[in-house]
Structure 1
């Protein structure tokens, strides 16, 4: 009877040689000798052990890689040192990233403020703000500018001269700056259908809102040729004056004038 052969001994754990380069991010670490291997290898390049259960060196996050300097390669003994060349400072990339972020933030600061105000406009309640002074470019006798803000819709403002009314305007002044949100118009002489067509109606109106610092914000409104309330969103902060200028009108004629029954202004609470 032949003696049974001893089982092949398990190879002892080998330590990584000192002159061997350290494992890089993504390398597979051999469980026997600790050598680093590229991810595509199946067996260790140093000891030949299987890399099935080898763990990979994790990659650091991107923000940490920005501040990590690459290791310098040491020259071999007897080699002539390479001529020193200009190298990019290690802090250059982080400084560029910070500068770009600050530049974009500065450029978009106004848009961010407008977006915040828009959200507040949608989530807050509004209330009507009354003008303390109302003037007009001209007015027909018996139809002064004050009738466009008197709280009723059966009386109206009309310019002095008949026709299309191009360039005629109505201007309202507030007692203090407000966050203007909406403008409501009642075109024509009244919201009643029987009277609506008896005079001209504004079709295109240029709204110019003046803020407390003198800045003017303009917006062109397209008014539908139908009686009743029409609401327009005109968001402007610190509004102190609103001018409504007629650009064009419906139903004009030599004996008709452009009429505006009522103009209402709403601010954010």
Structure 2
């Protein structure tokens, strides 16, 4: 190219395309590409048009979580907050249960049992301030003084009780005196409990076999030094049975009988009843077996309801070596109060 040439031509070389690959190479590259098949819906997958027709399915089984709560202690102290879900006692400063995490805003507060609240409780120690000497006063609180006095009383009482037990075991006169006092208290309590019974007094008593001066009316005079006396022979052709009839002024119901047998002034000179047969006006009977003693003997009666009278027959006796008879000092009848 020269400066005198008016037209200058610039030539740019063009890229030369690669030669086409041979047919076997193209076939090999196409084989490396996996064909993408169109997605087909599964058999159990509902179509968009049939969504409303799918039946409800059973929810999958979930594995039960392990209970990781702490074991229950059941040691409640006064002021503890009792969890309403698990019953655990928690400190008053907690807001949530230490065992299950339940909110304790409405938890119940543990209290002392009533028998423990009767004891003196130690209160806060209250002392007045000093006067500038740097030492507090040594005065104790009123609750402490009462507690100290109560403790001393308990100690003295325990010592006296132990001493009395030793004396009771080693000194017979003291033991007899204590037993007598206890028996007196027991008798008073027994009498109070038995005050539910009301005495029922017969209007009259008669007997065809009474010894002169000792008629059946002696059974009703309320004196133990007088007695009804009648002949009695248990065996033989001329056997005599002592019998007395008692009549009431109205229909009564009898629940208890007290028998005082024998003659007070001559207990061994006359026979004492061993068996009494009671026949009530309502047709029912009752058999009573007595002991050979001059003390009153108490018996419960059954069937003596709505009666007007009763027949008392001696079935057997504790015989006397001097006389063939039987003596009864008193018969006392009682009705249960309604």
**TM-score scaled by structure 1?**
0.50
> Could you say what the CA RMSD is over the residues aligned between the two structures, in angstroms?
3.4
The residue correspondences of 1:186-265 to structure 2 (distance < 5 A) are 186-190=260-264, 195-210=266-281, 215-235=282-302, 236-253=304-321, 255-265=323-333
Deviations 1:72-104 (A, max 9, x none): xxxxxxxxxxxxxxxxxxxxxxxxxxxxxxxxx
Which structure 1 residue ranges, 5 or more long, are not aligned? 14-30, 32-121
Question: 1:12 and 2:55 equivalent?
Answer: yes
What secondary structure sits across from 2:253 in the alignment?
strand
Provide the residue aligned with 1:172 in structure 2. 246
8 Å contact from structure 1 (residues 162, 253) kept in 2: no
8 Å contact from structure 2 (residues 233, 241) kept in 1: no
8 Å contact from structure 1 (residues 166, 248) kept in 2: no
Distance 1:170 1:229 in 2: 19
- 181-190 vs 124-133, which moves further: 124-133
8 Å contact from structure 1 (residues 162, 255) kept in 2: no
What secondary structure sits across from 1:259 in the alignment?
strand
Pick the aligned partner of 2:221 from 150, 167, 172.
Answer: 150
Provide the residue aligned with 1:63 in structure 2. none
What is the CA-CA distance between 1:4 and the residue it aligns to?
Answer: 11
What secondary structure sits across from 2:255 in the alignment?
strand
What is the CA-CA distance between 1:233 and the residue it aligns to?
Answer: 0.8
8 Å contact from structure 2 (residues 227, 329) kept in 1: yes
Deviations 1:180-234 (A, max 9, x none): 11111101112xxx74222100001101111xxxx21101110111121111111
Deviations 1:230-251 (A, max 9, x none): 1111132112101110111002
**TM-score scaled by structure 2?**
0.40
What secondary structure sits across from 2:306 in the alignment?
strand
8 Å contact from structure 2 (residues 245, 310) kept in 1: yes
Distance 1:9 1:259, change over 3 A: farther
The count of residues paired between Structure 1 and Structure 2 equals 155
What is the CA-CA distance between 1:124 and the residue it aligns to?
Answer: 8.7
**Bigger Rg, structure 1 or 2:** 2
Distance 2:43 2:224 in 1: 107
What secondary structure sits across from 1:237 in the alignment?
coil
8 Å contact from structure 2 (residues 271, 323) kept in 1: no
Which structure 2 residue ranges, 5 or more long, are not aligned? 1-35, 47-53, 59-192
Distance 1:179 1:140, change over 3 A: same
Pick the aligned partner of 2:212 from 133, 141, 156.
Answer: 141
Structure richer in strand, relative to its length: 1
Provide the residue aligned with 2:78 in structure 1. none
Structure richer in helix, relative to its length: 2
